[in-house]
Amino acid sequence: MSAILDDLVFRPARVEDAARILAFWAEAAENEARPADDAATVETLVLRDATALDIAVQQDRVVGTLISGWDGWRAHLYRLAVHPELRGRGVAGELLRRAEDRLVRLGARRLDAMVLEQNGLGQSFWATAGFSPQHEWRRWVRSAE
């Protein structure tokens, strides 16, 4: 691992990390066009799939996240975020490497990433990682509430 990442710990999130993850997302993530996250939702994810939410921690501070969802059919990547001070230093790449390893072990043959249209930095990262937009599909959503 590079010297820049030597002081980081990459690991699956735990229930007790929920508040720190939410605080991190409020500071470092793209939060437009998505429902508000809450501790109960993060805790439910972690309890349902203990390895779905990977985090990067630096001195007890969450500095990176990536959710790798697997439903037994498709693999989805969500909530890739890196603290602004650490962007461009390999944190996102390491989170993606860990997620890909997990998803391939589970049986994934194709990965998709959710990236907001206006998130140019995110689009650049995913393109560099070999992902490309799939223009023949459009995501349709509605609230479950």
Q: Over the stretch 105-134, which tens digit does the pLDDT of each residue have?
A: 999 999 999 888 888 999 999 999 999 999
Torsion angles phi and psi, residue 144, rounded to 5: -90, 0
Distances from the Cα of 137 to the Cα of 3, 64, 79, 134, angstroms: 40, 28, 20, 6
Task: For residue 144, give every residue at least 6 positions away whose Cβ sits within 8 Å of its Cβ, in sequence order, or none.
Answer: none
User: Domain containing 96 — which CATH number?
Assistant: 3.40.630.30
Res. 138: pLDDT tops 90: no
- What length does the chain have? 145
Residue 51 in any domain: the answer is yes
Residue 138 in any domain: the answer is no
Residue 32 in any domain: the answer is yes
Residue 136 in any domain: the answer is no
Residue 142 in any domain: the answer is no
Residue 108 in any domain: the answer is yes
Residue 60 in any domain: the answer is yes
Structural domain total, the chain: 1
Instruction: Count how many Cα atoms sit within 13 Å of the Cα of residue 86 in the half-sphere of its side chain.
Output: 26
Domain of residue 121 covers 3-128
Q: Dump pLDDT digits (tens) for 73-101.
A: 999 999 999 999 999 999 999 999 999 99
Q: Cα-Cα-Cα-Cα dihedral of 30, 35, 36, 38, to 10°?
A: -110
Q: Let me know: does 75 contact 100? Beta carbons within 8 Å.
A: no
